[in-house]
A = this chain, B = another copy of it.
Amino acid sequence: MRIGIVGTGIVGRTLGTRLAKLGHDVRMGSRTTGGEKARTWVKQTGGKSSEGTLADATAHAEIVFNCTPGNVSIEALSAAGAKNLEGKTLIDVSNPIDFSKGMPPTLSVCNTDSLGEQIQRAFPTAHVVKSLNTVTAAVMADPSIIPGVHDMFVSGNDAKAKGQVVDLLKTGFGWKEVIDLGDITAARAQEMLLPLWLRLYTKFQTPNVNVHVAR
């Protein structure tokens, strides 16, 4: 599948590498083409991997991953172009983390709205699916890093797009349990897990923590 990655940070590169290893045609998008992080990633990844502008990456793609920091997500996706997201599955991995008020960071939006919903409203013809934001980059791409049973969540308004993401998470990345929380308003619940994750990270001194839903 042709996959576009918006954002060349650790999340974008980790997911991009995993997707390329799975045989997908992955294009990494940055603000300007030929940046060092993107070029190094292409060199190290090989295969069908490529890099370009945000518009290049999304125009190329059947599925787009938003891997930008939450505070610049809408700006980056706008630069990619609404037209290039039209009718496509847009997996929103970002968290609305606000470091401006000191530590621990807070959320720039929560409770009555979410970044997932903001992105869906800004790009109404894209099929936004919120997922993967509840774990660290390495665990997103390889859940077996954390021993035992632990779960991933998805939410979104388009059932077909969600099904596509669930399939990719399970058969591609190896997630055993993927829980569909409902429409994109459930992104609030997913993003509001961040404070717990940060506390657990501090307590256990490892980013390799996640939750399992017992029932």
**Nearest B residue to A134 by beta-carbon distance?**
B196
B101–A107 contact, CB under 8 A? no
Q: Give, as a whole number of angstroms, the nearest-CB distance from A63 to chain B.
A: 24
Q: Give, as a whole number of angstroms, the nearest-CB distance from A184 to chain B.
A: 12
Q: How many copies does the complex hold?
A: 2
B112–A111 contact, CB under 8 A? no
B204–A215 contact, CB under 8 A? yes
CA distance A209 to B204 in the complex (A): 24
CA distance A175 to B29 in the complex (A): 48
Per-residue CB proximity of A168-190 to B under 8 Å, as 1/0? Answer: 00000000000111100110111
Which chain B positions have C-beta within 8 A of A107?
Answer: 111
**Nearest B residue to A196 by beta-carbon distance?**
B189
Q: Judge if A202 is at the interface, Cβ distance under 8 Å.
A: yes
What is A's interface to B at a CB cutoff of 8 Å? 101, 104, 106-107, 110-112, 146-150, 179-182, 185-186, 188-190, 192-193, 195-196, 198-200, 202-204, 206, 208-215
